[in-house]
Amino acid sequence: MRVHPVPMLFLSGPPGVGKTTVAWEIFGQLVDSGNSPAFVDLDLLGACWPVPDDDPHNERMKARNLGAMWQNYRAAGARCVLAAGVIESRDGLALYADAVPNAVPVLCRLYAGRQELADRIVRRGRERGADLDKLTRRAAQLSAQLERDDIADFRVDTDGRGVPEVAREVVKEWLRLTGDVDGS
């Protein structure tokens, strides 16, 4: 039995950069082009309380859930994985990739300038009633950290660009790095 690689695209970046929105757009583009993707939001995979003291972002839970979901996605015919969430270290990326047998992980860091992040958070936050100042500060801090400790395979700037354009650029670079997004 031939074991097929599982291309995995991780979209990382600070709050407001567009990780989930871009991932959904890529999902649609892949479906439209005849591919068989699965999509996961890493934050939702770890939405469980309490979190362990030694794992404050609940990454082990997220990875276990990703592995369990992949089994179901694969049985349903999915051949690649799109995952949106903040990934701050190579160890974190490895934890997620190890949850999916034969994974070929690629990490894309989405980038937006400080003012663009703040504007997006304000637009999005009006609907949620969030603490916008706190979230804006966190986004700026995380963006600076991800820029400083860059572990991504590639970066895509999102400032002043539409979601479809950003998604096309991400897929183009992903294809350049992997040669295939459908694990064939």
**Structural domain boundaries of the chain?**
6-176
pTM, two decimal places: 0.92
Amino acid identity at 142: L
Closest CA to 166 of 12, 14, 21, 15: 21
Res 126: pLDDT = 56
In the chain, which ranges are continuous DSSP H helix?
19-32, 42-45, 59-75, 90-98, 114-128, 132-148, 163-178
Res 27: pLDDT = 98
pLDDT in tens, the chain (184 residues): 567 899 999 999 999 999 999 999 999 999 999 999 999 999 999 998 999 999 999 999 999 999 999 999 999 999 999 999 999 999 999 999 999 999 999 999 999 999 999 888 888 765 455 677 888 888 889 899 999 999 999 999 999 999 999 999 999 999 999 988 876 6
Res 74: pLDDT = 95
Res 122: pLDDT = 83
In the DSSP assignment, the letter for residue 181 is S
Res 163: pLDDT = 96
CATH number of the domain located at residue range(s) 6-176 in this protein:
3.40.50.300
Res 181: pLDDT = 81
